Chains A and B, each alone.
Chain A
């Protein structure tokens, strides 16, 4: 089925439709709603609200209102809501006009017609396949086929002269069954072959006359003709395009209009770990990331990088936005032999531990491009959602779980629709690198608290047990960055901690409204016999959940459990490694006081539990 699958599912549809706002605020609400995954029924519902709310263009609209005339040879009224909503998705306001049934040529040629009175600024020739190529086998030869196209091209010219505007021609859906089969081209007069020949000719004539094509044939190749066309509906209602395909039809047209207005996206902002390669470079090291020949996953990331480089060659600006130490983030670019992307492809490279919404803002400012021309690609739903929430004009596609489909999925979303290629496009990355602007001093305005509160995070605490033993051992042995002591233990050693009287072994699982993040943190505490002092042997956490107050919530749990065991003092140790610089101040941030410090080696900290005030977080603690 044709489905706008890269858009996130709408949340609470009835409430979205209730829309209490007015004016410009209502308009932004509608734009936001249009940017969710809508089927044709919901598209119609949203269009209904749009039409009722804005019979005329909304106040303060910053884009030119579109007057779209559809020159159709069969029924298209069922496509209008898809067209208007797809334009809305891009912040464009569209009024539509459809020529009378079977009247498109007459209306175009008659200067006093209602088409001319409508004065369109975009003209779409929605000519159906039967209309252009429907004559029976043998009735027309190849010169006849070309005559049909050249006559059509004359009409394009008339439209261009009359309205001086963008003209779009839809290509023919390959709806006719073959007569010969695979070698249909040997029967030049068959209708199935005629459609293919005509689509080739349409491309030639369109290039000669400056007309843009709506490539329904290419989409049918990708999604199947049956997704676009239903014989039964043609017979019943002369609908060549299936009503369920209307959102996609509108989407394809709106891309062309947006591209013509210079409103296609310009910049691809990419995450690194598990987006451009598999694994976490800060933990796994350059040698440990999954990239390159030898494994299907490694090749999938390679293939995605190739697609990204191809996009850069044709003019899309590339940026990196990664939660990482910069040195770690750069390492694969400098040292991994199979990286296809190189540092020179990246116009803006941002790797730090700030929230990603702030970093996308920074990237747009540095490159001096509109924030609405950025496409943010990240495998982590937490990051996708904070960017959507904070920067609603940034395009944030859902990503499939399998990296093999990353490129396909972003391509299907059509953010970078372009109508032509100039030499300047190919040099764009260099230009942007040369023009890098000073970093803006504008304050980081991300509403992180509001976002965290909206996530409904729950932290599930459990003492070590057999069930989760393997995952716990795995985390202990691979976590490098958020790891205070980097002590490694075997499965037997960890198993010995289960029910041990002189140790606490806790693992923490984080869930939120986006899903289950799995076990993401481990703490091991030890004490001598019934001593009232406990030492933290191990404290580690997955960087995936950094910046979400998880460490504070874990500390609250630890303090609570320790008190319960009669402990009054906790001692924490930081052992410096090449990779764990990020947790140098961990204990200080949690309110511990310094005991000793040995520069370059580490530090020891202590906390009197009587003095501990639990941190306030947006995380609910759960047992189990």
Chain B
């Protein structure tokens, strides 16, 4: 899966969690740009992403993520590890 495919799926997940069908995300988007993306929803986004992709993030990995692009890269890394 490449960047844009992961970003598309992630956007779908975040739209569902935030109940916002028109939300668009770019690699540069940060949580603070999206009004509904508070700490409560942040956990739901992480958990929903784990369930959807069948992966599990480490606590430390999540602390380093600063924007959507880095989250996408992390997801890809986890998917690669799963394959390997």
A242-256 vs B, CB cutoff 8 Å, 1 = contact: the mask equals 111000000000000
Note all chain B residues with C-beta closer than 8 A to A78: 40, 43-44
Q: Given B16, B40, B48, B58, which contacts A77 in the complex, CB threshold below 8 Å?
A: B40
**How far is it, in angstroms, between the C-alpha of A77 and the C-alpha of B19 when the chains are bound?**
17
On chain B, the number of residues with a Cβ less than 8 Å from chain A's Cβ atoms is 13
Q: Is A41 in contact with B48, judged by CB distance below 8 angstroms?
A: yes
Q: Given B44, B58, B59, which contacts A40 in the complex, CB threshold below 8 Å?
A: B44
Task: Decide: A45 near B47, CB < 8 A? Known: A77-B40, A236-B59.
Answer: no
Name the distance in Å between A250's Cβ and chain B's nearest Cβ.
15
Q: Given B13, B43, B58, which contacts A243 in the complex, CB threshold below 8 Å?
A: B43
Task: Decide: A41 near B17, CB < 8 A? Known: A236-B43, A244-B47.
Answer: yes
The answer, yes or no, to whether A431 is at the interface (CB within 8 Å) is no
Q: Report the contact-size class of chain A (Cβ under 8 Å from the partner).
A: 10 to 19
Q: Is B44 in contact with A41, judged by CB distance below 8 angstroms?
A: yes
Q: Is A48 in contact with B51, judged by CB distance below 8 angstroms?
A: no
Note all chain A residues with C-beta closer than 8 A to B51: 1, 39, 244
The answer, yes or no, to whether A239 is at the interface (CB within 8 Å) is yes
**How far is it, in angstroms, between the C-alpha of A41 and the C-alpha of B52 when the chains are bound?**
11
**How far is it, in angstroms, between the C-alpha of A1 and the C-alpha of B48 when the chains are bound?**
13
Q: Given B19, B40, B58, which contacts A45 in the complex, CB threshold below 8 Å?
A: B19
Note all chain B residues with C-beta closer than 8 A to A233: 43, 47
Q: Is A243 in contact with B44, judged by CB distance below 8 angstroms?
A: yes
Task: Tell me the chain B residues, 1-27 only, with Cβ under 8 Å from chain A.
Answer: 13, 16-17, 19
**How far is it, in angstroms, between the C-alpha of A242 and the C-alpha of B40 when the chains are bound?**
13
Note all chain B residues with C-beta closer than 8 A to A237: 39, 43
Q: Is A48 in contact with B19, judged by CB distance below 8 angstroms?
A: yes
Q: Is B17 in contact with A44, judged by CB distance below 8 angstroms?
A: yes
**How far is it, in angstroms, between the C-alpha of A239 and the C-alpha of B42 when the chains are bound?**
13
Note all chain A residues with C-beta closer than 8 A to B39: 237
Note all chain B residues with C-beta closer than 8 A to A314: none
Task: Decide: A243 near B47, CB < 8 A? Known: A232-B59, A235-B59, A236-B59.
Answer: yes
Note all chain A residues with C-beta closer than 8 A to B44: 40-41, 44, 78, 243
Task: Decide: A41 near B59, CB < 8 A? Known: A236-B43, A242-B47, A243-B47.
Answer: no
Note all chain B residues with C-beta closer than 8 A to A242: 47
Q: Is A41 in contact with B40, judged by CB distance below 8 angstroms?
A: no
Task: Decide: A239 near B17, CB < 8 A? Known: A40-B48, A232-B59, A244-B51.
Answer: no
The answer, yes or no, to whether A42 is at the interface (CB within 8 Å) is yes
Note all chain A residues with C-beta closer than 8 A to B47: 40, 233, 242-244
Name the distance in Å between B42's Cβ and chain A's nearest Cβ.
9
Note all chain B residues with C-beta closer than 8 A to A235: 59
Q: Given A41, A232, A236, A243, which contacts B16 in the complex, CB threshold below 8 Å?
A: A41
**How far is it, in angstroms, between the C-alpha of A45 and the C-alpha of B18 when the chains are bound?**
9
Chain A, residue nearest B21 (CB): A14
Note all chain A residues with C-beta closer than 8 A to B59: 232, 235-236
Name the distance in Å between A567's Cβ and chain B's nearest Cβ.
57
**How far is it, in angstroms, between the C-alpha of A1 and the C-alpha of B52 when the chains are bound?**
12
30 cross-chain CB contacts under 8 A:
A1-B51, A39-B51, A40-B47, A40-B48, A41-B13, A41-B17, A41-B44, A42-B16, A44-B17, A44-B19, A45-B16, A45-B19, A48-B19, A77-B40, A78-B40, A78-B43, A78-B44, A232-B58, A232-B59, A233-B43, A233-B47, A235-B59, A236-B43, A236-B59, A237-B43, A243-B43, A243-B44, A243-B47, A244-B47, A244-B51
Given contact pairs A1-B51, A242-B47, enumerate 7 new A-B contacts (beta carbons under 8 Å): A39-B51, A44-B44, A45-B16, A232-B58, A233-B47, A235-B59, A244-B51
